Chain A
Protein backbone atom coordinates (compact mmCIF):
# COMPACT_ATOMS: atom_id res chain seq x y z
CA UNK A 1 0.00 0.00 0.00
CA UNK A 2 2.74 2.35 1.06
CA UNK A 3 4.63 1.45 -2.08
CA UNK A 4 1.66 2.34 -4.20
CA UNK A 5 1.29 5.67 -2.49
CA UNK A 6 4.96 6.51 -2.75
CA UNK A 7 5.05 5.64 -6.42
CA UNK A 8 2.04 7.74 -7.22
CA UNK A 9 2.63 10.60 -4.83
CA UNK A 10 4.09 12.82 -7.53
CA UNK A 11 0.99 12.23 -9.64
CA UNK A 12 -1.24 13.13 -6.73
CA UNK A 13 0.75 16.27 -6.03
CA UNK A 14 0.66 17.21 -9.69
CA UNK A 15 -3.07 16.65 -9.74
CA UNK A 16 -3.64 18.73 -6.61
CA UNK A 17 -1.59 21.60 -8.00
CA UNK A 18 -3.39 21.35 -11.33
CA UNK A 19 -6.70 21.46 -9.53
CA UNK A 20 -5.84 24.90 -8.23
CA UNK A 21 -5.11 26.17 -11.71
CA UNK A 22 -8.27 24.53 -12.99
CA UNK A 23 -10.33 26.43 -10.43
CA UNK A 24 -8.62 29.70 -11.21
CA UNK A 25 -9.72 29.22 -14.80
CA UNK A 26 -13.15 27.98 -13.73
CA UNK A 27 -14.06 30.97 -11.64
CA UNK A 28 -13.55 33.50 -14.44
CA UNK A 29 -15.46 31.39 -16.92
CA UNK A 30 -18.23 31.20 -14.35
CA UNK A 31 -18.70 34.93 -14.60
CA UNK A 32 -18.83 34.80 -18.36
CA UNK A 33 -15.33 36.14 -18.88
CA UNK A 34 -13.42 34.34 -21.57
CA UNK A 35 -9.99 34.87 -20.14
CA UNK A 36 -7.02 32.55 -20.14
CA UNK A 37 -4.92 34.92 -18.09
CA UNK A 38 -4.44 32.41 -15.25
CA UNK A 39 -1.19 31.30 -16.84
CA UNK A 40 0.26 34.78 -16.59
CA UNK A 41 -1.09 35.34 -13.09
CA UNK A 42 0.35 32.02 -11.95
CA UNK A 43 3.71 33.04 -13.35
CA UNK A 44 3.58 36.32 -11.48
CA UNK A 45 2.64 34.59 -8.24
CA UNK A 46 5.14 31.80 -8.64
CA UNK A 47 8.11 33.93 -9.60
CA UNK A 48 7.36 36.50 -6.91
CA UNK A 49 7.18 33.81 -4.28
CA UNK A 50 10.41 32.21 -5.40
CA UNK A 51 12.43 35.37 -6.00
CA UNK A 52 11.27 37.21 -2.90
CA UNK A 53 12.54 34.30 -0.89
CA UNK A 54 15.75 33.48 -2.75
CA UNK A 55 16.80 37.05 -3.48
CA UNK A 56 14.75 38.98 -0.98
CA UNK A 57 15.31 36.75 2.00
CA UNK A 58 11.69 36.67 3.05
CA UNK A 59 10.33 33.49 4.63
CA UNK A 60 8.76 31.13 2.10
CA UNK A 61 5.20 31.02 3.30
CA UNK A 62 5.08 34.77 3.48
CA UNK A 63 6.24 34.98 -0.10
CA UNK A 64 3.69 32.42 -1.20
CA UNK A 65 0.98 34.57 0.30
CA UNK A 66 2.49 37.66 -1.30
CA UNK A 67 2.44 35.80 -4.60
CA UNK A 68 -1.24 35.13 -4.12
CA UNK A 69 -1.92 38.77 -3.33
CA UNK A 70 0.03 39.90 -6.40
CA UNK A 71 -1.91 37.45 -8.51
CA UNK A 72 -5.12 38.97 -7.23
CA UNK A 73 -3.96 42.53 -7.80
CA UNK A 74 -2.88 41.86 -11.36
CA UNK A 75 -6.15 40.03 -11.90
CA UNK A 76 -8.05 43.10 -10.80
CA UNK A 77 -5.85 45.28 -12.99
CA UNK A 78 -6.67 43.07 -15.95
CA UNK A 79 -10.36 43.20 -15.20
CA UNK A 80 -10.75 46.81 -16.13
CA UNK A 81 -9.49 46.58 -19.73
CA UNK A 82 -10.94 43.13 -20.28
CA UNK A 83 -14.37 44.14 -19.03
CA UNK A 84 -14.70 46.41 -22.03
CA UNK A 85 -14.31 43.48 -24.37
CA UNK A 86 -16.45 40.51 -25.06
CA UNK A 87 -16.04 36.93 -26.12
CA UNK A 88 -13.18 36.21 -28.44
CA UNK A 89 -11.62 39.62 -27.92
CA UNK A 90 -11.31 38.99 -24.21
CA UNK A 91 -9.67 35.69 -25.06
CA UNK A 92 -7.17 37.30 -27.39
CA UNK A 93 -6.40 40.09 -24.95
CA UNK A 94 -5.84 37.64 -22.10
CA UNK A 95 -3.67 35.54 -24.40
CA UNK A 96 -1.67 38.66 -25.19
CA UNK A 97 -1.27 39.23 -21.45
CA UNK A 98 0.13 35.72 -20.97
CA UNK A 99 2.57 36.30 -23.80
CA UNK A 100 3.58 39.67 -22.39
CA UNK A 101 4.35 38.11 -19.02
CA UNK A 102 6.29 35.35 -20.73
CA UNK A 103 8.27 37.73 -22.93
CA UNK A 104 9.07 40.12 -20.11
CA UNK A 105 10.13 37.17 -18.00
CA UNK A 106 12.59 36.12 -20.68
CA UNK A 107 13.75 39.67 -21.24
CA UNK A 108 14.33 40.60 -17.61
CA UNK A 109 16.97 37.91 -17.27
CA UNK A 110 18.80 39.83 -14.61
CA UNK A 111 15.96 39.33 -12.19
CA UNK A 112 14.20 36.24 -13.39
CA UNK A 113 17.15 34.21 -14.67
CA UNK A 114 15.51 34.20 -18.11
CA UNK A 115 15.00 31.03 -20.06
CA UNK A 116 17.00 28.87 -17.70
CA UNK A 117 14.58 29.57 -14.94
CA UNK A 118 14.94 29.72 -11.19
CA UNK A 119 16.66 26.83 -9.44
CA UNK A 120 17.24 25.80 -5.89
CA UNK A 121 13.86 26.63 -4.48
CA UNK A 122 13.48 24.64 -1.26
CA UNK A 123 10.86 21.95 -1.36
CA UNK A 124 8.50 22.97 1.38
CA UNK A 125 5.16 22.08 -0.07
CA UNK A 126 4.15 18.50 0.53
CA UNK A 127 1.13 16.37 -0.12
CA UNK A 128 -0.68 16.91 3.21
CA UNK A 129 -0.59 20.69 2.73
CA UNK A 130 -1.84 20.33 -0.83
CA UNK A 131 -4.65 18.06 0.27
CA UNK A 132 -5.68 20.52 2.94
CA UNK A 133 -5.58 23.45 0.56
CA UNK A 134 -7.54 21.55 -2.07
CA UNK A 135 -10.22 20.75 0.43
CA UNK A 136 -10.37 24.40 1.43
CA UNK A 137 -10.45 25.51 -2.19
CA UNK A 138 -13.31 23.16 -3.04
CA UNK A 139 -15.21 24.48 -0.05
CA UNK A 140 -14.68 28.07 -1.16
CA UNK A 141 -15.71 27.35 -4.73
CA UNK A 142 -18.79 25.56 -3.48
CA UNK A 143 -19.69 28.65 -1.48
CA UNK A 144 -19.18 30.81 -4.51
CA UNK A 145 -21.60 28.64 -6.45
CA UNK A 146 -24.23 28.44 -3.74
CA UNK A 147 -24.59 31.99 -2.52
CA UNK A 148 -24.85 35.42 -4.00
CA UNK A 149 -21.62 35.34 -6.01
CA UNK A 150 -22.65 32.26 -7.96
CA UNK A 151 -26.14 33.56 -8.57
CA UNK A 152 -24.82 36.81 -9.88
CA UNK A 153 -22.04 35.23 -11.94
CA UNK A 154 -24.57 32.94 -13.57
CA UNK A 155 -26.86 35.79 -14.52
CA UNK A 156 -23.99 37.89 -15.86
CA UNK A 157 -22.65 34.91 -17.77
CA UNK A 158 -25.90 33.96 -19.40
CA UNK A 159 -27.53 37.25 -20.18
CA UNK A 160 -25.90 40.60 -19.58
CA UNK A 161 -28.95 42.60 -20.57
CA UNK A 162 -30.99 40.81 -17.93
CA UNK A 163 -28.23 41.26 -15.38
CA UNK A 164 -28.23 44.99 -16.00
CA UNK A 165 -31.99 45.15 -15.78
CA UNK A 166 -31.73 43.62 -12.32
CA UNK A 167 -29.23 46.19 -11.15
CA UNK A 168 -26.15 44.01 -11.47
CA UNK A 169 -22.97 45.79 -12.45
CA UNK A 170 -21.23 43.44 -14.83
CA UNK A 171 -17.84 45.05 -14.44
CA UNK A 172 -18.02 44.90 -10.66
CA UNK A 173 -18.70 41.18 -10.61
CA UNK A 174 -16.32 40.29 -13.38
CA UNK A 175 -13.64 42.12 -11.44
CA UNK A 176 -14.45 40.03 -8.40
CA UNK A 177 -14.13 36.90 -10.51
CA UNK A 178 -10.76 38.09 -11.80
CA UNK A 179 -9.63 38.85 -8.27
CA UNK A 180 -10.56 35.43 -6.97
CA UNK A 181 -9.10 33.70 -10.02
CA UNK A 182 -5.93 35.76 -9.73
CA UNK A 183 -5.43 35.00 -6.06
CA UNK A 184 -5.88 31.28 -6.67
CA UNK A 185 -3.53 31.34 -9.68
CA UNK A 186 -0.91 33.33 -7.80
CA UNK A 187 -1.17 31.10 -4.76
CA UNK A 188 -0.80 27.93 -6.73
CA UNK A 189 2.03 29.44 -8.72
CA UNK A 190 3.85 29.92 -5.45
CA UNK A 191 2.96 26.44 -4.27
CA UNK A 192 4.33 25.03 -7.51
CA UNK A 193 7.57 26.92 -6.99
CA UNK A 194 8.12 25.52 -3.52
CA UNK A 195 7.17 22.05 -4.60
CA UNK A 196 9.23 21.55 -7.74
CA UNK A 197 12.61 23.13 -6.82
CA UNK A 198 12.49 24.92 -10.13
CA UNK A 199 10.49 27.37 -12.17
CA UNK A 200 10.90 28.34 -15.77
CA UNK A 201 9.04 30.75 -18.03
CA UNK A 202 7.87 28.14 -20.52
CA UNK A 203 6.00 26.44 -17.70
CA UNK A 204 3.44 29.25 -17.77
CA UNK A 205 2.88 29.52 -21.47
CA UNK A 206 0.52 28.10 -24.00
CA UNK A 207 0.72 24.53 -22.72
CA UNK A 208 -0.33 25.72 -19.28
CA UNK A 209 -3.38 27.56 -20.46
CA UNK A 210 -4.44 24.75 -22.73
CA UNK A 211 -4.20 22.37 -19.81
CA UNK A 212 -6.18 24.64 -17.47
CA UNK A 213 -8.85 25.13 -20.13
CA UNK A 214 -8.98 21.42 -20.84
CA UNK A 215 -9.51 20.50 -17.21
CA UNK A 216 -12.51 22.79 -17.04
CA UNK A 217 -13.96 22.01 -20.43
CA UNK A 218 -13.66 18.27 -19.97
CA UNK A 219 -15.06 18.27 -16.46
CA UNK A 220 -17.57 21.08 -16.53
CA UNK A 221 -17.61 24.85 -16.30
CA UNK A 222 -20.51 25.36 -13.93
CA UNK A 223 -20.41 22.75 -11.21
CA UNK A 224 -17.71 22.64 -8.57
CA UNK A 225 -17.11 18.98 -9.19
CA UNK A 226 -16.42 19.70 -12.87
CA UNK A 227 -12.82 20.87 -12.52
CA UNK A 228 -12.17 18.06 -10.05
CA UNK A 229 -13.25 15.42 -12.52
CA UNK A 230 -11.57 17.10 -15.46
CA UNK A 231 -8.27 17.39 -13.62
CA UNK A 232 -8.50 13.84 -12.32
CA UNK A 233 -9.08 12.39 -15.77
CA UNK A 234 -6.42 14.43 -17.54
CA UNK A 235 -3.79 13.86 -14.86
CA UNK A 236 -4.42 10.18 -14.41
CA UNK A 237 -4.81 9.28 -18.08
CA UNK A 238 -1.17 9.88 -19.04
CA UNK A 239 -0.17 7.66 -16.16
CA UNK A 240 -2.40 4.84 -17.23
CA UNK A 241 -1.11 4.66 -20.74
CA UNK A 242 2.42 5.43 -21.76
CA UNK A 243 1.21 6.18 -25.28
CA UNK A 244 -1.11 8.88 -24.08
CA UNK A 245 1.71 10.33 -22.05
CA UNK A 246 3.89 10.65 -25.12
CA UNK A 247 1.16 12.07 -27.23
CA UNK A 248 -0.10 14.31 -24.44
CA UNK A 249 -0.67 17.38 -26.59
CA UNK A 250 -2.36 15.31 -29.25
CA UNK A 251 -4.57 13.78 -26.59
CA UNK A 252 -5.56 17.18 -25.24
CA UNK A 253 -6.37 18.29 -28.77
CA UNK A 254 -8.58 15.32 -29.48
CA UNK A 255 -10.33 15.64 -26.14
CA UNK A 256 -11.00 19.34 -26.63
CA UNK A 257 -12.50 18.78 -30.05
CA UNK A 258 -14.63 15.83 -29.07
CA UNK A 259 -15.89 17.26 -25.81
CA UNK A 260 -16.84 20.66 -27.17
CA UNK A 261 -18.88 19.11 -29.95
CA UNK A 262 -20.48 16.13 -28.26
CA UNK A 263 -20.56 17.07 -24.64
CA UNK A 264 -20.09 20.83 -24.58
CA UNK A 265 -21.00 21.15 -20.94
CA UNK A 266 -18.35 18.70 -19.83
CA UNK A 267 -18.66 15.36 -18.11
CA UNK A 268 -19.85 16.47 -14.69
CA UNK A 269 -22.22 19.19 -15.86
CA UNK A 270 -23.79 16.94 -18.49
CA UNK A 271 -24.40 14.26 -15.90
CA UNK A 272 -25.73 16.70 -13.31
CA UNK A 273 -27.99 18.32 -15.88
CA UNK A 274 -29.35 14.96 -16.97
CA UNK A 275 -29.99 13.71 -13.46
CA UNK A 276 -31.64 16.98 -12.53
CA UNK A 277 -33.96 16.78 -15.51
CA UNK A 278 -34.87 13.25 -14.55
CA UNK A 279 -35.54 14.27 -10.98
CA UNK A 280 -37.68 17.26 -11.96
CA UNK A 281 -39.59 15.20 -14.51
CA UNK A 282 -40.48 12.56 -11.97
CA UNK A 283 -41.43 15.30 -9.52
CA UNK A 284 -43.69 16.82 -12.11
CA UNK A 285 -45.33 13.51 -12.82
CA UNK A 286 -45.95 13.02 -9.14
CA UNK A 287 -47.99 16.21 -9.09
Chain B
Protein backbone atom coordinates (compact mmCIF):
# COMPACT_ATOMS: atom_id res chain seq x y z
CA UNK B 1 0.00 0.00 0.00
CA UNK B 2 2.72 2.39 0.95
CA UNK B 3 4.54 1.67 -2.26
CA UNK B 4 1.45 2.57 -4.18
CA UNK B 5 1.39 5.91 -2.47
CA UNK B 6 5.08 6.37 -3.11
CA UNK B 7 4.51 5.68 -6.75
CA UNK B 8 1.63 8.11 -6.91
CA UNK B 9 3.75 10.64 -5.11
CA UNK B 10 6.62 10.16 -7.50
CA UNK B 11 4.39 10.83 -10.48
CA UNK B 12 2.85 13.93 -8.96
CA UNK B 13 6.32 14.92 -7.86
CA UNK B 14 7.42 15.00 -11.47
CA UNK B 15 4.85 17.65 -12.20
CA UNK B 16 5.74 19.54 -9.04
CA UNK B 17 9.30 19.54 -10.35
CA UNK B 18 8.25 21.06 -13.65
CA UNK B 19 6.46 23.82 -11.86
CA UNK B 20 9.25 24.42 -9.37
CA UNK B 21 11.85 24.42 -12.14
CA UNK B 22 10.17 27.31 -13.86
CA UNK B 23 10.17 29.18 -10.60
CA UNK B 24 13.78 28.30 -9.79
CA UNK B 25 14.94 29.32 -13.25
CA UNK B 26 13.64 32.81 -12.77
CA UNK B 27 14.96 33.09 -9.25
CA UNK B 28 18.30 31.65 -10.22
CA UNK B 29 18.85 33.96 -13.12
CA UNK B 30 17.23 37.13 -11.96
CA UNK B 31 17.02 36.75 -8.20
CA UNK B 32 13.39 37.63 -8.46
CA UNK B 33 10.55 35.81 -6.81
CA UNK B 34 7.92 35.54 -9.50
CA UNK B 35 4.82 35.24 -7.37
CA UNK B 36 2.71 35.25 -10.52
CA UNK B 37 4.06 31.85 -11.51
CA UNK B 38 1.03 30.15 -9.98
CA UNK B 39 -1.18 32.27 -12.18
CA UNK B 40 0.75 31.19 -15.27
CA UNK B 41 0.33 27.55 -14.27
CA UNK B 42 -3.40 28.05 -13.89
CA UNK B 43 -3.63 29.87 -17.20
CA UNK B 44 -1.86 26.98 -18.91
CA UNK B 45 -4.42 24.58 -17.52
CA UNK B 46 -7.29 26.73 -18.76
CA UNK B 47 -5.71 27.19 -22.17
CA UNK B 48 -5.28 23.44 -22.53
CA UNK B 49 -8.86 22.91 -21.47
CA UNK B 50 -10.27 25.44 -23.89
CA UNK B 51 -8.21 24.02 -26.70
CA UNK B 52 -9.65 20.58 -26.07
CA UNK B 53 -13.16 21.98 -25.68
CA UNK B 54 -12.76 23.60 -29.07
CA UNK B 55 -12.11 20.18 -30.50
CA UNK B 56 -8.35 20.26 -30.79
CA UNK B 57 -6.43 17.09 -29.99
CA UNK B 58 -4.84 16.90 -26.57
CA UNK B 59 -1.28 17.16 -27.80
CA UNK B 60 -2.17 20.45 -29.42
CA UNK B 61 -3.70 21.49 -26.16
CA UNK B 62 -0.32 20.95 -24.53
CA UNK B 63 1.33 23.07 -27.18
CA UNK B 64 -1.18 25.84 -26.69
CA UNK B 65 -0.67 25.69 -22.93
CA UNK B 66 3.09 25.82 -23.28
CA UNK B 67 3.03 28.70 -25.72
CA UNK B 68 0.40 30.57 -23.78
CA UNK B 69 2.21 30.06 -20.51
CA UNK B 70 5.46 31.16 -22.01
CA UNK B 71 4.02 34.27 -23.54
CA UNK B 72 2.14 35.21 -20.40
CA UNK B 73 5.33 34.78 -18.42
CA UNK B 74 7.20 37.03 -20.83
CA UNK B 75 4.42 39.59 -20.57
CA UNK B 76 4.74 39.51 -16.80
CA UNK B 77 8.48 40.06 -17.06
CA UNK B 78 7.91 43.00 -19.32
CA UNK B 79 5.19 44.66 -17.28
CA UNK B 80 6.00 43.73 -13.73
CA UNK B 81 9.76 43.31 -13.51
CA UNK B 82 11.49 45.21 -16.24
CA UNK B 83 10.19 48.67 -15.30
CA UNK B 84 11.57 48.16 -11.80
CA UNK B 85 15.15 47.88 -12.94
CA UNK B 86 15.24 51.59 -13.37
CA UNK B 87 13.69 52.56 -10.10
CA UNK B 88 16.03 50.43 -8.06
CA UNK B 89 13.56 48.95 -5.62
CA UNK B 90 14.15 45.59 -7.20
CA UNK B 91 13.77 42.96 -4.53
CA UNK B 92 10.89 44.34 -2.56
CA UNK B 93 9.34 45.90 -5.62
CA UNK B 94 9.50 42.69 -7.63
CA UNK B 95 7.57 40.81 -4.99
CA UNK B 96 4.89 43.46 -4.76
CA UNK B 97 4.67 43.80 -8.51
CA UNK B 98 4.35 40.08 -9.06
CA UNK B 99 1.69 39.83 -6.34
CA UNK B 100 -0.16 42.52 -8.25
CA UNK B 101 0.24 40.73 -11.58
CA UNK B 102 -0.97 37.50 -10.00
CA UNK B 103 -4.04 39.18 -8.59
CA UNK B 104 -4.88 40.55 -12.01
CA UNK B 105 -4.45 37.17 -13.69
CA UNK B 106 -6.53 35.38 -11.06
CA UNK B 107 -9.29 37.97 -11.17
CA UNK B 108 -9.56 37.73 -14.92
CA UNK B 109 -9.62 33.95 -14.74
CA UNK B 110 -12.26 34.11 -12.04
CA UNK B 111 -14.47 36.30 -14.17
CA UNK B 112 -14.02 34.24 -17.30
CA UNK B 113 -14.57 30.91 -15.59
CA UNK B 114 -17.31 32.41 -13.41
CA UNK B 115 -15.74 30.83 -10.39
CA UNK B 116 -16.65 27.38 -11.62
CA UNK B 117 -14.47 24.35 -11.26
CA UNK B 118 -14.02 22.95 -14.70
CA UNK B 119 -12.99 19.56 -15.94
CA UNK B 120 -11.50 18.02 -19.01
CA UNK B 121 -14.09 16.13 -21.05
CA UNK B 122 -14.24 12.50 -20.14
CA UNK B 123 -12.74 11.14 -23.30
CA UNK B 124 -9.76 13.45 -23.31
CA UNK B 125 -7.37 10.89 -21.96
CA UNK B 126 -7.80 7.14 -22.28
CA UNK B 127 -8.36 5.42 -18.98
CA UNK B 128 -6.13 2.38 -18.97
CA UNK B 129 -4.76 0.78 -15.84
CA UNK B 130 -1.64 -1.32 -15.73
CA UNK B 131 -0.87 -3.65 -12.90
CA UNK B 132 2.48 -5.04 -11.90
CA UNK B 133 4.13 -6.07 -8.67
CA UNK B 134 0.87 -5.42 -6.88
CA UNK B 135 0.95 -1.80 -7.93
CA UNK B 136 -1.53 0.06 -10.01
CA UNK B 137 -0.37 2.57 -12.59
CA UNK B 138 -2.68 4.42 -14.91
CA UNK B 139 -1.75 5.31 -18.45
CA UNK B 140 -2.12 8.92 -17.42
CA UNK B 141 0.40 8.52 -14.61
CA UNK B 142 2.83 6.90 -17.00
CA UNK B 143 2.29 9.70 -19.43
CA UNK B 144 2.83 12.33 -16.75
CA UNK B 145 6.02 10.72 -15.55
CA UNK B 146 7.42 10.38 -19.05
CA UNK B 147 6.41 13.91 -19.96
CA UNK B 148 8.06 15.30 -16.85
CA UNK B 149 11.24 13.32 -17.43
CA UNK B 150 11.36 14.29 -21.07
CA UNK B 151 10.93 17.97 -20.33
CA UNK B 152 13.54 17.89 -17.60
CA UNK B 153 15.98 16.21 -19.95
CA UNK B 154 15.24 18.79 -22.62
CA UNK B 155 15.78 21.58 -20.11
CA UNK B 156 19.10 20.17 -18.98
CA UNK B 157 20.23 19.72 -22.55
CA UNK B 158 19.12 23.23 -23.35
CA UNK B 159 20.94 24.79 -20.42
CA UNK B 160 24.15 22.85 -20.74
CA UNK B 161 24.55 22.14 -24.42
CA UNK B 162 23.18 25.04 -26.36
CA UNK B 163 24.73 28.47 -26.83
CA UNK B 164 21.63 30.18 -25.42
CA UNK B 165 21.77 27.94 -22.41
CA UNK B 166 25.36 28.96 -21.83
CA UNK B 167 24.36 32.58 -22.01
CA UNK B 168 21.63 31.99 -19.48
CA UNK B 169 24.07 30.39 -17.10
CA UNK B 170 26.51 33.22 -17.68
CA UNK B 171 23.95 35.81 -16.70
CA UNK B 172 23.00 33.71 -13.69
CA UNK B 173 26.59 33.71 -12.55
CA UNK B 174 27.40 37.33 -13.06
CA UNK B 175 25.15 39.61 -15.04
CA UNK B 176 27.64 42.43 -15.49
CA UNK B 177 30.39 40.15 -16.65
CA UNK B 178 28.02 38.48 -19.07
CA UNK B 179 27.03 41.81 -20.55
CA UNK B 180 30.67 42.71 -20.95
CA UNK B 181 31.16 39.45 -22.78
CA UNK B 182 28.51 40.45 -25.24
CA UNK B 183 25.48 38.66 -23.90
CA UNK B 184 22.27 40.53 -24.45
CA UNK B 185 20.51 40.36 -21.10
CA UNK B 186 17.11 41.09 -22.56
CA UNK B 187 17.34 37.98 -24.73
CA UNK B 188 18.19 35.97 -21.67
CA UNK B 189 15.29 37.42 -19.71
CA UNK B 190 12.93 36.67 -22.55
CA UNK B 191 14.17 33.12 -22.90
CA UNK B 192 14.17 32.25 -19.21
CA UNK B 193 10.75 33.69 -18.56
CA UNK B 194 9.37 31.98 -21.64
CA UNK B 195 10.83 28.64 -20.59
CA UNK B 196 9.59 29.13 -17.07
CA UNK B 197 6.08 29.88 -18.28
CA UNK B 198 6.04 27.05 -20.80
CA UNK B 199 7.01 24.53 -18.13
CA UNK B 200 4.34 25.91 -15.82
CA UNK B 201 1.74 25.78 -18.58
CA UNK B 202 2.43 22.12 -19.34
CA UNK B 203 2.43 21.32 -15.62
CA UNK B 204 -0.96 22.99 -15.38
CA UNK B 205 -2.50 20.77 -18.04
CA UNK B 206 -0.98 17.66 -16.48
CA UNK B 207 -2.37 18.52 -13.07
CA UNK B 208 -5.69 19.46 -14.59
CA UNK B 209 -5.84 16.00 -16.14
CA UNK B 210 -4.56 14.20 -13.08
CA UNK B 211 -6.86 15.72 -10.49
CA UNK B 212 -9.67 16.36 -12.92
CA UNK B 213 -10.25 19.89 -11.78
CA UNK B 214 -9.29 23.26 -13.14
CA UNK B 215 -10.15 26.40 -11.28
CA UNK B 216 -8.86 29.89 -10.96
CA UNK B 217 -7.12 29.37 -7.61
CA UNK B 218 -5.37 26.14 -8.50
CA UNK B 219 -1.97 27.73 -8.82
CA UNK B 220 -1.66 29.14 -5.33
CA UNK B 221 -0.93 26.02 -3.28
CA UNK B 222 1.61 25.04 -5.90
CA UNK B 223 3.48 28.27 -5.45
CA UNK B 224 4.07 27.68 -1.79
CA UNK B 225 5.04 24.10 -2.55
CA UNK B 226 7.50 25.48 -5.09
CA UNK B 227 9.19 27.44 -2.31
CA UNK B 228 9.57 24.30 -0.27
CA UNK B 229 10.92 22.35 -3.22
CA UNK B 230 13.40 25.00 -4.21
CA UNK B 231 14.74 25.30 -0.72
CA UNK B 232 14.90 21.51 -0.38
CA UNK B 233 16.81 21.23 -3.58
CA UNK B 234 18.97 24.26 -3.07
CA UNK B 235 17.65 27.09 -5.17
CA UNK B 236 19.61 27.53 -8.33
CA UNK B 237 20.44 23.91 -8.63
CA UNK B 238 18.38 22.61 -11.50
CA UNK B 239 19.02 19.01 -10.63
CA UNK B 240 18.41 19.76 -6.97
CA UNK B 241 15.02 21.23 -7.75
CA UNK B 242 14.14 18.23 -9.89
CA UNK B 243 15.00 15.82 -7.11
CA UNK B 244 13.38 18.09 -4.56
CA UNK B 245 10.15 18.00 -6.52
CA UNK B 246 10.07 14.23 -6.58
CA UNK B 247 10.81 13.97 -2.87
CA UNK B 248 8.22 16.59 -2.10
CA UNK B 249 5.63 14.79 -4.22
CA UNK B 250 6.17 11.62 -2.25
CA UNK B 251 6.07 13.33 1.13
CA UNK B 252 2.93 15.22 0.21
CA UNK B 253 1.09 12.18 -1.10
CA UNK B 254 2.07 10.04 1.88
CA UNK B 255 1.02 12.76 4.27
CA UNK B 256 -2.37 13.23 2.65
CA UNK B 257 -2.92 9.50 2.56
CA UNK B 258 -1.96 8.71 6.12
CA UNK B 259 -2.64 11.94 7.94
CA UNK B 260 -5.35 14.40 7.02
CA UNK B 261 -5.02 16.89 4.24
CA UNK B 262 -5.46 19.72 6.73
CA UNK B 263 -2.53 18.53 8.77
CA UNK B 264 -0.52 18.08 5.60
CA UNK B 265 -0.87 21.78 4.90
CA UNK B 266 0.40 22.67 8.33
CA UNK B 267 3.28 20.25 7.99
CA UNK B 268 4.36 21.56 4.63
CA UNK B 269 4.31 25.17 5.70
CA UNK B 270 5.95 24.26 8.96
CA UNK B 271 8.62 22.47 6.98
CA UNK B 272 9.12 25.55 4.83
CA UNK B 273 9.44 27.73 7.88
CA UNK B 274 11.90 25.45 9.61
CA UNK B 275 14.02 25.00 6.50
CA UNK B 276 14.29 28.72 6.01
CA UNK B 277 15.43 29.13 9.56
CA UNK B 278 17.89 26.27 9.63
CA UNK B 279 19.38 26.85 6.24
CA UNK B 280 19.36 30.58 5.82
CA UNK B 281 22.20 30.27 3.38
CA UNK B 282 20.52 27.41 1.61
CA UNK B 283 19.16 29.67 -1.03
CA UNK B 284 21.78 31.03 -3.34
CA UNK B 285 24.61 31.50 -0.91
CA UNK B 286 25.51 34.89 -2.29
CA UNK B 287 22.28 36.55 -1.32
CA UNK B 288 23.10 35.01 2.00
CA UNK B 289 20.62 35.67 4.70
CA UNK B 290 23.31 36.61 7.13
CA UNK B 291 25.09 39.02 4.86
CA UNK B 292 24.80 42.67 5.67
CA UNK B 293 23.20 44.42 2.78
CA UNK B 294 22.06 47.90 2.08
CA UNK B 295 18.29 47.93 2.01
CA UNK B 296 16.26 50.83 0.85
A interface residues with partner B (beta carbon < 8 Å):
32, 34, 81, 84-89, 91-93, 95-97, 99-100, 103-104, 106-107, 157-161, 164, 206, 210, 213, 217, 247, 249-250, 252-257, 260-261, 264
From the candidates B79, B83, B96, B280, name the one contacting A85 in the complex (CB within 8 A). Answer: B280
Q: Do A260 and B97 touch (CB < 8 A)?
A: yes
Which one of A95, A106, A158, A260 has the greatest number of beta carbons of chain B within 10 Å? A260
From the candidates A96, A106, A157, A252, name the one contacting B273 in the complex (CB within 8 A). Answer: A96
A115 to B148, CA, bound (A): 35
Q: Do B107 and A260 touch (CB < 8 A)?
A: no
B131 near A: Cβ within 8 Å? no
- Report chain B residues within 8 Å CB of A106: 262, 265
- Report chain A residues within 8 Å CB of B262: 103, 106-107
Which one of B101, B103, B227, B266 has the greatest number of beta carbons of chain A within 10 Å? B103
A97 to B262, CA, bound (A): 15
B175 near A: Cβ within 8 Å? no
> Which of B67-75, B85-93, B119-127, B203-211 forms part of the interface with chain A?
B85-93
- Report chain B residues within 8 Å CB of A157: 295
Residue of B nearest to A29 (CB): B92
**Chain B positions 38-95 with a Cβ under 8 Å from a chain A Cβ:** 79-80, 83-84, 87, 89, 91-93, 95
Residue of A nearest to B88 (CB): A264
B99 near A: Cβ within 8 Å? yes
Given A210-B103, A264-B93, are A158 and B296 also a contact pair (CB < 8 Å)?
A: yes
- Report chain B residues within 8 Å CB of A257: 79-80, 96-97, 100-101, 104
Q: Do B276 and A32 touch (CB < 8 A)?
A: no
Q: Do B95 and A99 touch (CB < 8 A)?
A: no
B interface residues with partner A (beta carbon < 8 Å):
33, 79-80, 83-84, 87, 89, 91-93, 95-97, 99-104, 106-108, 110-111, 220, 224, 227, 260, 262-263, 265-266, 269-270, 272-273, 276-277, 280, 283, 287, 289-296
Q: Say whether chain B's binding surface is mostly helix, strand, loop, or mixed.
A: helix
- Report chain B residues within 8 Å CB of A85: 276-277, 280, 289
For this complex, 15 residue pairs linking A to B, each with C-beta atoms less than 8 Å apart, are: A84-B290, A85-B277, A93-B276, A104-B266, A159-B295, A164-B292, A206-B220, A210-B103, A249-B103, A249-B110, A257-B104, A260-B93, A260-B100, A264-B89, A264-B93
- Report chain A residues within 8 Å CB of B276: 81, 85, 89, 92-93, 96
Q: Do A260 and B96 touch (CB < 8 A)?
A: yes
Q: How far is the CB of A100 from chain B (nearest CB, A)?
A: 5
Additional pairs, 11, CB under 8 Å, beyond known A34-B92, A84-B289, A96-B276: A86-B295, A87-B295, A92-B272, A106-B265, A159-B294, A160-B293, A160-B295, A249-B107, A257-B97, A257-B101, A261-B97
- Report chain B residues within 8 Å CB of A161: 292, 294
Q: Do B292 and A250 touch (CB < 8 A)?
A: no
- Report chain B residues within 8 Å CB of A92: 33, 227, 272, 276
Q: Do B265 and A103 touch (CB < 8 A)?
A: yes
Q: Do A210 and B99 touch (CB < 8 A)?
A: yes
Q: Do B277 and A84 touch (CB < 8 A)?
A: yes
Given A89-B276, A158-B296, are A252 and B100 also a contact pair (CB < 8 Å)?
A: yes
- Report chain A residues within 8 Å CB of B291: 86
Which one of A99, A106, A161 has the greatest number of beta carbons of chain B within 10 Å? A99
Residue of B nearest to A264 (CB): B89
A32 to B292, CA, bound (A): 12
Q: Do A107 and B260 touch (CB < 8 A)?
A: yes
A89 to B275, CA, bound (A): 11
From the candidates B103, B293, B294, name the one contacting A253 in the complex (CB within 8 A). Answer: B103
Q: Do B280 and A256 touch (CB < 8 A)?
A: no
